[in-house]
Chains A and B, each alone.
Chain A
C-alpha cells in the first residue's frame, strides 16, 4: 500500500541553523509528493510539491527533491528563523488519485 514515514520529532534548533527533516515513502507507480506546514492553531498550508522524479520543489527558502531511487523527499532549509516553528507534514498523492496520504508530522521549534 501507500505510506509515508517522517523523521521523529520534536526537533529543536537555534535560529540560522541548517534544517533537514527526513521523509521516505512507499507507493506504486509515480506518486506526487508534498510538504505541508501547520502553524499553531491553524489548518495545513501547502509549502511545496514535486510531481515527478528529480523535480525540486521550493518555497520560502525551503527545498525538497523527489528522489525515486531512494524513495525520499527530504525537506531542507539553509537558515531557519523563529517564524519557521510549526509542524511539518510530508504527504504523497498516488498516481492518478486525488487522495493524500500523510506522514505523522514533525514538530519544529526554533529558538532565538
Chain B
C-alpha cells in the first residue's frame, strides 16, 4: 500500500516552459487535492476534486490547470511557468467525508528560473 505518490520529486524549469505534476493514490479515496507550500505561508489549496469527474478552484488557482484522470489519478499542469510558481507542491487525498482527514504525498520541489 503506497498511499499517495507524486512524480517527479524535483524539477527545474525555465520561464515559459510547461509541465505536468502527477499524483496517484491507492486508498480508493474519492477526493484529491493540490497544495503549494511556500516559506512562512503554510500550505495553500490550488485545486481540488471532490469526486471523479469534478474539479474546483481553491485559494490560489491562477496559472494552473488540473485533470482528474480517474479515481486514482489527479494531475496538475503549469502551462507557462513563472518564477512565482517556484514552490513545493503536495498532493493529498481523502475519503470525501466530513470532517476530512487528508493523506499527503512526499511532494515535488519545483524551481522556475
Contacts and interface: CB of A to CB of B under 8 A. Distances in A.
A98 B48 contact: yes
Contacts, number: 61
Interface stretch (A12-20, A42-50, A72-80): A42-50
A6 to B, nearest CB: 8
Interface residues of A, number: 24
Interface string A88-105: 010001011111101111
Given A93-B100, A96-B98, A104 B41 contact: yes
B4 interface: yes
B66 interface: no
Given A45-B104, A105-B42, 8 more contacts: A36-B104, A43-B105, A43-B107, A97-B98, A98-B96, A102-B44, A104-B41, A105-B40
A36 B94 CA distance: 15
B103 to A, nearest CB: 8
20 contacts: A36-B104, A42-B107, A43-B104, A43-B107, A44-B43, A44-B92, A45-B104, A46-B101, A46-B102, A51-B99, A97-B98, A97-B100, A98-B94, A98-B96, A98-B98, A99-B100, A100-B100, A103-B42, A104-B42, A105-B42
Contact of B4 (A4, A43, A99, A100): A43
A4 B104 CA distance: 20
Nearest to B107: A43
Interface residues of B, number: 26
Given A45-B104, A98-B48, A89 B43 contact: yes
B102 A100 contact: yes
B90 interface: yes
Contacts of A41: 106
Contacts of A4: 42
